[in-house]
Structure 1
């Protein structure tokens, strides 16, 4: 009898058209609008903590950019000399009071170097916003895929429960009519119990997947766009995607730009600054007033800034090495993801197409043959088990395909031009 079923499977695989459906949607679908992936992404973007944190980082970087462009503040100096001493200086009659102002003058391009560092950090902060949005898209897509797959698995579990109940009723009729042994009824009852257990597990899994999606989008998902879940891209040769211009490499390049700016800043800080001062001095004894001028220059005897410059250069070398490593990692990850997408797409088309059609036809023939007494119960159970496994494999293959596709899109997400957004 197994040879009969195998022959039916082979014939159906050759003759049946490719079918994308794995199982009909659950009968009790929630009412309301159908939640598409694009709508889920839109809802999640409105309340995403990661994106909000990255946006706050941009505001902080822009504030630091404004602070970097400010010049040093002047100082007001007040001095009193020749007071509270001895002899003629015991009081205030010989006091010399000086009131003046000091103004630091930055040399060596320190201000422009600070601005360069702040600009590089601001550019990286804007890239982090795009990266956070890409990460959110991946997370929401994966949650949407898992929820859709759970809905499909739940539909399969309900179908298997109904089939198990029908098989139990048929077995009872055969046993009551004396056409089968009570063992057949026991087997059918075991199948029903297992189907009820699988249905309960499917309901819990679907509830969990929907709850996870709801946490991301901030509301109940409602009815999901299951038609999107069943679609795959067309087969055929595809161009391999390059790692150039991706977010990962753009972030690494932004780190190099920041390190270069830090080197320029460290180099500028080796140039001593001048402090100019000017004031007026009043001599209490003669009631005369005289002008006072001064210039101060720090002497770089102990700290000439060489160590800071060496550290900045080493960090620049580190950033360059990390960028080269990021290129290799990105290329490897993209190649692996492209292979996973191709394999998952082939598995999805096979499992949801010829294999599923053949399993459905074999189960249909086995049910008819069992009712007519041509097939035994074991043949029927084997056909039903094969159908359930094929439907589950089709759902798993579609979920794996969409997950691999989402990860590939995240790896190849392009970095926008950020120079035009600088203030």
Structure 2
């Protein structure tokens, strides 16, 4: 367990150092990659800082659990300030004693077992925080990249709509078309410019959201190559292996804490002893005598049975929750695999054959419209199909990257914990 905590603390320390050193901003003109975003986010993430504090607190709790009870020093004075011969301090009897509690029933080892289980849980929670941060960064980066790609498409649509308007004006001036075609083309251009303004604002919002996660403004363009990468083909779903995942490891750690709690509650039922030794001094004779004491509590009102019942019930709940988590994780991984496969197929189709066919159809429609072979409605339909196909391709790519990131989050492996015997 110490090696696990040392590794987690080292990772958190690196993040804290990076945070203190203010990571350098990305140079203008250079592509801002996903790896850079992940590195910067890890340096400034408050969730990782909180997880690091939890790990340190758990390790401190482990040291506290191993401490033994403190001894006590007692000083007593008898036969003081009375009446008759006990007036004043002539008959005082002073007693000084040292008492030491002795824990029985394995209480100390049970406390250490609980602390060890909580330390393992804190380390797993730190790994969960890192995995959640990665998912958030990938999601924000993919959304920003998708917004930038939509902006490029919107600019291209404005250019196409402007060219279509000029072509319509030429046809009308030549007397080969009705003036209504100019109005239609102008409406298409206005709509394209409106969409462009909307996409520009969307890019600003997406880049701002990403900059908040990474802790600094994003000056360069995002990695368009990463966003456009899609596997060539997704085969059948892989076997579900939920064992060792973060969610299941967290449930196992909760069950281990509950098990240790039952052991601790059982040990609390054994009464502790308090032994003492001291010396008593008699003022009148100036003599001293040794004193020994033994104290044993009587479990008349609280014999620990209720606490043991409570701990046993909590252990049953943790065990049942562990089975529920196993089912949920299996189902979630299966759904994530299907979502990623479907998104990859849609992205490959929309970005490949479907997009190529739509671009070719739009190109032919533009040429045919300029030469008078196609009507304006044919051109507008081809352009609308191209715009919808481009939008579908971007949406499919975004869905794929988010689904793949979610799948990686669900299947992320938990750090190996090594229990420590007290």
User: Given the two structures, how large is their TM-score scaled by the length of structure 2?
Assistant: 0.91
Q: What does residue 132 of structure 1 align with?
A: 129
How far, CA to CA, are the matches of 1:129 and 1:146 in structure 2? 26
The change in CA–CA distance for 1:225 and 1:241 in structure 2 (over 3 A counts) is farther
Contact kept? 1:76, 1:99, Cα under 8 Å: yes
Q: What does residue 349 of structure 1 align with?
A: 348
How far, CA to CA, are the matches of 1:209 and 1:422 in structure 2? 50
SS at match of 2:77: strand
Q: What does residue 230 of structure 1 align with?
A: 228
- After superposition, residues 149-164 of structure 1 pair within 5 angstroms as 149-164=146-161
Q: What does residue 58 of structure 1 align with?
A: 55
Shift of 1:35: 1.8
Q: What does residue 258 of structure 1 align with?
A: 257
How far, CA to CA, are the matches of 2:193 and 2:168 in structure 1? 18
Shift of 1:93: 1.1
SS at match of 2:232: coil
Q: What does residue 298 of structure 1 align with?
A: 297
Between 33-42 and 111-120, the greater mean CA deviation after superposition = 33-42
Q: Deviation per CA, 1:169-202, whole angstroms, max 9, x where unpaired? A: 1212222222222111111111111001000000
Q: Deviation per CA, 1:189-244, whole angstroms, max 9, x where unpaired? A: 11111001000000011111111111111122322111111111231335233111
Contact kept? 2:237, 2:337, Cα under 8 Å: no
Contact kept? 2:116, 2:420, Cα under 8 Å: no
Q: Deviation per CA, 1:40-82, whole angstroms, max 9, x where unpaired? A: 1111111111111011000001111101111111111011111
The change in CA–CA distance for 1:420 and 1:302 in structure 2 (over 3 A counts) is closer
The total of aligned residue pairs comes to: 394
Shift of 1:280: 1.1
Q: What does residue 49 of structure 1 align with?
A: 46
Q: What does residue 36 of structure 1 align with?
A: 33
The one of the two structures with greater contact order (alpha-carbon pairs below 8 A, sep at least 6) is 1
How far, CA to CA, are the matches of 1:309 and 1:39 in structure 2? 51
- After superposition, residues 17-416 of structure 1 pair within 5 angstroms as 31-221=28-218, 222-235=220-233, 236-416=235-415
How far, CA to CA, are the matches of 1:237 and 1:265 in structure 2? 48
Shift of 1:317: 0.4
Shift of 1:31: 3.6
Q: What does residue 21 of structure 2 align with?
A: none
Between 362-371 and 344-353, the greater mean CA deviation after superposition = 344-353
Contact kept? 1:241, 1:412, Cα under 8 Å: no
User: Given the two structures, how large is their TM-score scaled by the length of structure 1?
Assistant: 0.91
The change in CA–CA distance for 1:145 and 1:263 in structure 2 (over 3 A counts) is same
Q: Which runs of 5+ in 2 are unaligned?
A: 1-26
Moved over 6 A (4+): 420-423
